[in-house]
C-alpha cells in the first residue's frame, strides 16, 4: 500500500480563505476589523521570520496587524505592561506573544495563569512528592475545564499521558496501567478497585451530589485498599480549587502591579 500524502499547504490555504471570508462578514456586521497584536521580544532570527509570516498572513486575511517589538533586554514587568495595554485596547482581538522569549524572561508567567482545579491537582501531587517525569498518567475525562488542562500540565512535567473518555474501550484495562490516575468524569464511584493497580496514586476530581451525599468519581473505600495515595471527596481536590483561585489572584495582582 502507498500512503496518501496529507497536503497541509492546501488545507491551510483553505482555512485561510475561510477566515478571510469570516473577517469580511464580521467587518461588515460590526464596522470594525479584528486585530492581532503580535509581540516579539528580542531579535531571534527564527522568531522574527515566524512573526513576519504571521503578520503577512493577517494582512492577507484582512485582520489588522498590530505588531509590537521590544528589545531583548526588556524587563518582565515591561512585557507584562504591554500585554496589559493590549488587553485593554478594543482594537486588539487577540495577542500573540512569540515564544521563546529571551533568557531572563518567564514566558509561562506572561502567557497566562493555570486554571484553578488543574493547578490544584498538580499542587497536590507535588506536595506529596509524586514523581511525574516518565510516570504513566491516565486522565479520565477530557473536558476543557479539567481533563485537558490536567493532561497538558502532566505532559509538561514529562509524564506519559493517556486520556480516557466515554468512548474509551476497556477503561479498567487502560486505567490499571497508571502510576497516577486522575478521575474527572462526573459519574459517582465509576472508578473501582479493578481500575487501579497496587501502589497507584489516585486523584479524584469528581464532585457528584447523590442521595447519599457528595460522592467522588472514585469508589474511595474500595480503591484505598490498593492505592498508595488517594484524595477523599470532600476534602481533596475541592479545597485546592479555592486555594489556587486565591493564588492565581495574587499572581494576577503581581503581574498587574508590575504594569
Ligand atoms: P464534563 O465536562 O461533564 O466532562 C466529563 C468527562 O468525562 C467527558 O470527557 C466524558 O467523556 C467523560 N466521561 C463521562 N462518562 C464516562 C465514562 N463512563 N467513562 C469514561 N469517561 C466518561 O465534566 P467536568 O467539568 O470535567 O467535571 C468532571 C467532574 O469534576 C464533575 O464531577 C465535576 O463536578 C467535578 N469538578 C470538580 C471540581 C473541583 O473543584 N473539585 C472542579 C471542576 C469539576 P466524553 O467527552 O466522551 O463525553
pLDDT score of 159 more than 70: yes
pLDDT of 255: 63
pLDDT score of 35 more than 80: yes
Catalytic-residue membership of 85 = no
pTM, two decimals, is: 0.80
Check pocket membership of 237 for ligand 1, CB cut-off 6 A. yes
pLDDT of 257: 58
pLDDT tier at 251, thresholds 50, 70, 90: confident
pLDDT of 256: 60
Supply the mean pLDDT for the chain. Answer: 93
- Residue 158, classed as helix, strand or coil, is coil
Tell me what the mean pLDDT of segment 42-70 comes to.
95
Q: For strands 68-70 and 160-164, give the pairing.
A: unpaired
Q: For residue range 7-32, list pLDDT tens digits in order.
A: 999 999 999 999 999 999 999 999 99
Give backbone dihedrals phi and psi of 41, rounded to 5 degrees, phi first.
-110, 120
Check pocket membership of 171 for ligand 1, CB cut-off 6 A. yes
Tell me what the mean pLDDT of segment 238-244 comes to.
89
Q: For residue range 195-214, list pLDDT tens digits in order.
A: 999 999 999 999 999 999 99
Check pocket membership of 191 for ligand 1, CB cut-off 6 A. no
Structural domains of the chain ordered from first start: 31-113 (3.40.50.10860), 116-238 (3.40.50.720)
Which residues contact residue 226 at a Cβ distance below 8 angstroms, ignoring those fewer than 6 apart?
193, 196, 197, 198, 199, 200
pLDDT score of 219 more than 90: yes
CB atoms within 10 A of CB 135: 18
Give backbone dihedrals phi and psi of 100, rounded to 5 degrees, phi first.
-80, 150
Amino acid at each position: 500500500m502507498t500512503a496518501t500524502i496529507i497536503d497541509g499547504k492546501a488545507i491551510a490555504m483553505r482555512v485561510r480563505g475561510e477566515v478571510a471570508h469570516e473577517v469580511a462578514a464580521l467587518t461588515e456586521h460590526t464596522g470594525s476589523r479584528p486585530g492581532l497584536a503580535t509581540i516579539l521580544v528580542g531579535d531571534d532570527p527564527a522568531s522574527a521570520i515566524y512573526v513576519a509570516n504571521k503578520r503577512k498572513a493577517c494582512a492577507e486575511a484582512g485582520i489588522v496587524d498590530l505588531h509590537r517589538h521590544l528589545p531583548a533586554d526588556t524587563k518582565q514587568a515591561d512585557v507584562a505592561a504591554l500585554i496589559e495595554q493590549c488587553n485593554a485596547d478594543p482594537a486588539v482581538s487577540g495577542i500573540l506573544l512569540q515564544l521563546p522569549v529571551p533568557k531572563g524572561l518567564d514566558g509561562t508567567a506572561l502567557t497566562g495563569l493555570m486554571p484553578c482545579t488543574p493547578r490544584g491537582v498538580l499542587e497536590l501531587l507535588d506536595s506529596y512528592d509524586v514523581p511525574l517525569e516518565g510516570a504513566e498518567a491516565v486522565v479520565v475525562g477530557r473536558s476543557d475545564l479539567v481533563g485537558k488542562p490536567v493532561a497538558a500540565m502532566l505532559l509538561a512535567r514529562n509524564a506519559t499521558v493517556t486520556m480516557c473518555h466515554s468512548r474509551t474501550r476497556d477503561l479498567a484495562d487502560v486505567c490499571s496501567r497508571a502510576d497516577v490516575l486522575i478521575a474527572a468524569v462526573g459519574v459517582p464511584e465509576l472508578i473501582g478497585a479493578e481500575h487501579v493497580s497496587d501502589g497507584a496514586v489516585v486523584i479524584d476530581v469528581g464532585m457528584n451530589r447523590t442521595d447519599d451525599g457528595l460522592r467522588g468519581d472514585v469508589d474511595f473505600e474500595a480503591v484505598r485498599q490498593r492505592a498508595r495515595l488517594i484524595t477523599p471527596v470532600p476534602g481533596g481536590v475541592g479545597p485546592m480549587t479555592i486555594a489556587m483561585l486565591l493564588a492565581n489572584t495574587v499572581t494576577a495582582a503581581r503581574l498587574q502591579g508590575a504594569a
